[in-house]
Chain A
Amino acid sequence: MAGSTLKIQDLHVEIEGNEIIKGLDLQISGGEIHAIMGPNGTGKSTLASAIMGHPSFEITQGSVELDGEDVLEMEVDERARAGMFLAMQYPSEVTGVTTSDFLRTSINANREEGDQIPLMKFIKKMDKQMATLDMDESFSTRYLNEGFSGGEKKRNEILQLLMLEPKIAILDEVDSGLDIDALKVVSNGVNSMRSDDFGCLIITHYQRLLNYIEPDYVHVIMQGRIVKSGDAALAQRLENEGYDWIKEELGIEDERVGQSQEA
């Protein structure tokens, strides 16, 4: 099989002494699109951030490997250069640094010293991807995320995805706050990445996005664990029936983390 494999085993994550992720297993390979669904506060962003190396989270147990390499031993930037990408739910603003400068520096950071992307090639690629995402030209010269609307920030995250072409991407709520047109545009962007070389984990609490990006696997997260997995039909059922039937099935009263009663 082409592409890379991200393998998460028995992952436990704490913040300030509270365990948020409590033994999570997941494997994502090139060519696969996974979706993690779950109500608010169930640990989705914690999972995504911890995998990428967010400084606030502590991994207390378990392993994350990319093609057999220990991801947890890597610096954040090493993870990125190894082919991982996280589209963040709340991307930071960087004043005084244009989106275009940031992207070019990032692309070059992912390339060898003597192999920097030629400026014209970069501009062409950026123009093309901005067109895919229906973004105004002015974006490239605006300061990174500064004063961007919620929707603009999401598009900008996807722009970075398209420009950096990672092997494994985690998209944390890239659909929140998007109207239907924007949702289609963002989905088009993600779909344009689909190939055997690209594996993706889409985090959302609405099924809506999955109408446009059809997942191969759907997982439900509650209380910091994957409690159910299935195919696209599972997402459809959640859309129609909500989460209550799963809670009932598993005897969960409060799906959020921190209120755990063992099932």
Chain B
Amino acid sequence: MAVETKWTFDSETVKQWAEKQEEPSWLVNKRLDALAQAEHLPLPDPDKTSLKRWKFTSFEKIDAEEPATQSFSDLPQEVSRLAGEESEVQNLIVQRDGKIAYHKVEQELEDNGVIFTDIATAVREHSDLVEKYFMSDAVRTNEHQLTALHTALMNGGVFIYVPKNVELQTPIQTIFWQDDVKTGLFNHVLMVTEANSRLTYLENYVSFTEEEANVNVVTEVYGGQGSEVKYGAIDNLESGVTSYVVRRASLAKDARIEWALGQLNEGHTISENTTYLMGDGSYGDTKTVHVGRGKQTQNFTSDVVAYGKRTEGYILTHGVMKDNATSIFNGINKIEKGGTNSHSEQTGRVLMLSSRARGDANPILLIDEDDVTAGHAASVGKIDPIQMFYMKSRGLSQTEAERLIIHGFLEPVVGALPIEAVKTRLAEVIERKVY
């Protein structure tokens, strides 16, 4: 597969950069090894989308400037508003191009030994913990060129560690903001929840310029026995950004995760979300919404893979397609041999607002075990003209009626977001994307 760039990131550059950041040697070595692999690994091969013309590596540097201050009031308003009023901010990290622009944690975190820090600090201060999990299991360096590049060039993100039995009351929030289009963002969210802990987490990816840029995102969640994670995300990168996003969780016995993902990037996007139900009785629920518009091409994959017995896996995907946008939705429920008495369900719905848009929903069930229950439903449709007639007959204009229909259509995911303010924020982003 062709790598379209003159390769500016040789091992010497990466080594110096990593050492300048005082990274532990395991990470420096892991990066160099990954960089070598990236040169010959192919790009990922998502179903029904050709990546030949996609520019994943058009950035020029990986080390952005440090923000001048870390005060909330110095954040641009378009960023700070994502967090709400400063007085209401609880646990928040804002990063600009991977560098900390704001950081606040509640006493509750410190009292309970919870770690919530930027990934650069984490690799220095919690080296053993990070080494144990980083790009080792849920997502691996050698999957393809973009995972290898991720390990080699990772330059932003956070580490969240919740100790055993800690049930966090305050949510943890992050805002990952790409400002400098010349800097590629390789953002890593590493989340470890120990046995019987609880965490609510919400993240925003944003940018505000339409210039060409690259974002490469990996999330790894390791859910310990009986732990519960609510994971909300709003991806809202601008139209020039080509992004690769993978969020995966690996769950131990009786662990649970609920994903609510607002996939609202404006540019070309490959986004995968996978839950591995490793332990018996584990539970994964994925809800995603998506709006495609303009000329963007996107490919979404939602997987739930069951290894444990008595697991439950749910996928709900709602997508709205406008203009000339193309989106492929692949949903895969897999039950491996041994996953007895497991249950899986998947629903994919796509609402087409334009005859020039393309939206494909491909639900797949892969079942290697007899003693399971599974179901799936998929539909691609237009707004029902009779429904439109009904709504207009009350005085709503075509636009207002469409707006309500779309909000209603996306409500199952918007409503699942764990924080009220974030629901409002997602509704706003949808509003802007739809009109």
Q: Which of B265-273, B336-344, B395-403 contacts A (4 or more CB under 8 A)?
A: B395-403
Task: Please measure, in the bound complex, the distance between the C-alpha atom of A56 and the C-alpha atom of B411, giving whole angstroms.
Answer: 29
In the complex the two chains form, is A106's CB within 8 Å of B405's CB? no
In the complex the two chains form, is A105's CB within 8 Å of B396's CB? yes
A77-B397, A101-B404, A109-B400 known; A96+B392 contact, CB < 8 A:
no
B385-418 at interface with A (beta carbon < 8 Å): 385-398, 400-401, 404-405, 407-412
Task: Report B-chain residues with C-beta under 8 Å of the C-beta of A85.
Answer: 393-394
A76-90 at interface with B (beta carbon < 8 Å): 76-77, 79-81, 85-86, 88
- Whole-angstrom distance from the CB of B370 to the nearest CB of chain A? 34
In the complex the two chains form, is B409's CB within 8 Å of A96's CB? yes
Task: Report A-chain residues with C-beta under 8 Å of the C-beta of B384.
Answer: 92
Task: Report A-chain residues with C-beta under 8 Å of the C-beta of B408.
Answer: 94-97, 143
A96-B407, A105-B400, A164-B394 known; A55+B385 contact, CB < 8 A:
yes
The reply on A110 being an interface residue by CB < 8 A is yes
The reply on A102 being an interface residue by CB < 8 A is yes
Task: Report B-chain residues with C-beta under 8 Å of the C-beta of A105.
Answer: 396, 400, 404
A97-B404, A101-B404 known; A92+B395 contact, CB < 8 A:
no
**Residue of A whose beta carbon sits closest to that of B390:** A92
A139-193 at interface with B (beta carbon < 8 Å): 143, 160, 164
Task: Please measure, in the bound complex, the distance between the C-alpha atom of A79 and the C-alpha atom of B391, giving whole angstroms.
Answer: 12
Task: Please measure, in the bound complex, the distance between the C-alpha atom of A101 and the C-alpha atom of B385, giving whole angstroms.
Answer: 20
**Residue of A whose beta carbon sits closest to that of B394:** A106
Task: Report A-chain residues with C-beta under 8 Å of the C-beta of B391.
Answer: 92, 94, 102
Task: Report A-chain residues with C-beta under 8 Å of the C-beta of B395.
Answer: 77, 80-81, 106, 109-110, 164
Task: Report B-chain residues with C-beta under 8 Å of the C-beta of A106.
Answer: 394-396
A52-B393, A55-B385, A88-B390 known; A94+B405 contact, CB < 8 A:
yes
The reply on A54 being an interface residue by CB < 8 A is yes
In the complex the two chains form, is A53's CB within 8 Å of B400's CB? no
Task: Determine the interface band of chain A, counting residues with CB < 8 A from chain B.
Answer: 20 to 34
Task: Please measure, in the bound complex, the distance between the C-alpha atom of A110 and the C-alpha atom of B392, giving whole angstroms.
Answer: 11
In the complex the two chains form, is B404's CB within 8 Å of A76's CB? no
**Residue of A whose beta carbon sits closest to that of B397:** A77
Task: Please measure, in the bound complex, the distance between the C-alpha atom of A95 and the C-alpha atom of B392, giving whole angstroms.
Answer: 16
Task: Please measure, in the bound complex, the distance between the C-alpha atom of A105 and the C-alpha atom of B392, giving whole angstroms.
Answer: 11
- Whole-angstrom distance from the CB of A96 to the nearest CB of chain B? 3
Contact mask for chain A residues 101-124; partner B; CB cutoff 8 A; 1 contact, 0 none = 110011001100000000000000
Task: Please measure, in the bound complex, the distance between the C-alpha atom of A109 and the C-alpha atom of B391, giving whole angstroms.
Answer: 11
- Whole-angstrom distance from the CB of A136 to the nearest CB of chain B? 21
- Whole-angstrom distance from the CB of B395 to the nearest CB of chain A? 4
Task: Report B-chain residues with C-beta under 8 Å of the C-beta of A97.
Answer: 404-405, 407-408, 411
The reply on A75 being an interface residue by CB < 8 A is yes
B297-328 at interface with A (beta carbon < 8 Å): none
- Interface residues in B, total, Cβ within 8 A: 25
- Whole-angstrom distance from the CB of B406 to the nearest CB of chain A? 9
Task: Please measure, in the bound complex, the distance between the C-alpha atom of A110 and the C-alpha atom of B395, giving whole angstroms.
Answer: 6
Task: Please measure, in the bound complex, the distance between the C-alpha atom of A182 and the C-alpha atom of B397, giving whole angstroms.
Answer: 32
In the complex the two chains form, is B390's CB within 8 Å of A91's CB? yes
Task: Please measure, in the bound complex, the distance between the C-alpha atom of A237 and the C-alpha atom of B407, giving whole angstroms.
Answer: 50
Contacting B397 at CB < 8 Å: which of A91, A93, A109? A109
Contact mask for chain B residues 372-385; partner A; CB cutoff 8 A; 1 contact, 0 none = 00000000000011
Task: Report A-chain residues with C-beta under 8 Å of the C-beta of B405.
Answer: 94, 97
In the complex the two chains form, is B411's CB within 8 Å of A77's CB? no
In the complex the two chains form, is A94's CB within 8 Å of B396's CB? no
Task: Report B-chain residues with C-beta under 8 Å of the C-beta of A76.
Answer: 389, 392-393
- Whole-angstrom distance from the CB of B397 to the nearest CB of chain A? 5
In the complex the two chains form, is B404's CB within 8 Å of A92's CB? no
- Whole-angstrom distance from the CB of A36 to the nearest CB of chain B? 18
Task: Report A-chain residues with C-beta under 8 Å of the C-beta of B400.
Answer: 105, 109
Task: Report B-chain residues with C-beta under 8 Å of the C-beta of A56.
Answer: 386
- Whole-angstrom distance from the CB of B264 to the nearest CB of chain A? 17
Task: Please measure, in the bound complex, the distance between the C-alpha atom of A160 and the C-alpha atom of B387, giving whole angstroms.
Answer: 16
**Residue of A whose beta carbon sits closest to that of B410:** A96
- Whole-angstrom distance from the CB of A197 to the nearest CB of chain B? 17
In the complex the two chains form, is B386's CB within 8 Å of A109's CB? no
In the complex the two chains form, is A96's CB within 8 Å of B411's CB? yes
Task: Report B-chain residues with C-beta under 8 Å of the C-beta of A101.
Answer: 404
Task: Please measure, in the bound complex, the distance between the C-alpha atom of A75 and the C-alpha atom of B391, giving whole angstroms.
Answer: 12
**Residue of B whose beta carbon sits closest to that of A107:** B395
- Whole-angstrom distance from the CB of A79 to the nearest CB of chain B? 7
Task: Report A-chain residues with C-beta under 8 Å of the C-beta of B396.
Answer: 77, 80, 105-106, 109
Contact mask for chain B residues 235-267; partner A; CB cutoff 8 A; 1 contact, 0 none = 000000000000000000000000000000000
Task: Report A-chain residues with C-beta under 8 Å of the C-beta of B393.
Answer: 52-53, 76-77, 79-80, 85-86, 88
**Among B388, B404, B407: residue with most chain A CB under 10 A:** B404
Task: Please measure, in the bound complex, the distance between the C-alpha atom of A95 and the C-alpha atom of B411, giving whole angstroms.
Answer: 8
Task: Please measure, in the bound complex, the distance between the C-alpha atom of A244 and the C-alpha atom of B178, giving whole angstroms.
Answer: 78
In the complex the two chains form, is B392's CB within 8 Å of A77's CB? yes
**Residue of B whose beta carbon sits closest to that of A79:** B393
Task: Please measure, in the bound complex, the distance between the C-alpha atom of A96 and the C-alpha atom of B385, giving whole angstroms.
Answer: 18
Task: Report B-chain residues with C-beta under 8 Å of the C-beta of A75.
Answer: 392, 398
- Whole-angstrom distance from the CB of B216 to the nearest CB of chain A? 33
Contacting B389 at CB < 8 Å: which of A53, A93, A94, A143? A53
Task: Report A-chain residues with C-beta under 8 Å of the C-beta of B388.
Answer: 55
**Residue of A whose beta carbon sits closest to that of B414:** A96
Closest 8 CB pairs of A and B: A96-B408, A96-B411, A80-B395, A76-B392, A97-B408, A106-B394, A92-B390, A109-B395
Known contacts A77-B392, A77-B398, then 4 further A-B pairs from the complex at CB < 8 Å, ordered by chain A residue: A88-B390, A91-B390, A94-B391, A106-B394
14 contacts between A and B (CB under 8 A): A53-B389, A55-B388, A75-B392, A76-B392, A81-B395, A85-B394, A92-B387, A94-B390, A96-B412, A97-B405, A97-B408, A106-B396, A109-B395, A109-B397
